[in-house]
Amino acid sequence: MQNAQAVSTLALTQALISKPSVTPNDAGCQDLVAAQLAPLGFAIHDLQFEETRNLWASHGHGAPVFAFVGHTDVVPTGPLDQ
């Protein structure tokens, strides 16, 4: 993935989907999302909920608030034979 450079929506989606992000491990998804938003002027704030990491990325100051809330981990599949 390119370092701190915006990539196409398709490339970003492919990169995120390719990561084995199963709760609570996001496999670097939050870092990838933050790396795309920070150069666009977003302030990145980590949100830790027990073992699960999320992010809050806000843009600008004052009202109205424009924010991106990252949540990239998924629930495990359970037994594959079911």
Tens-digit pLDDT profile for residues 18-29: 988 888 888 999
Give me the chain's average pLDDT, please. Answer: 82
CA distance 67 to 82: 38
Residues 6+ apart with CB under 8 A from 19: 26, 27, 28, 29, 32, 72
Q: What is the pTM of this model?
A: 0.73
Q: Nearest 5°: phi and psi at 49?
A: -120, 100
- Between CA 38 and CA 3 the distance in angstroms is 11
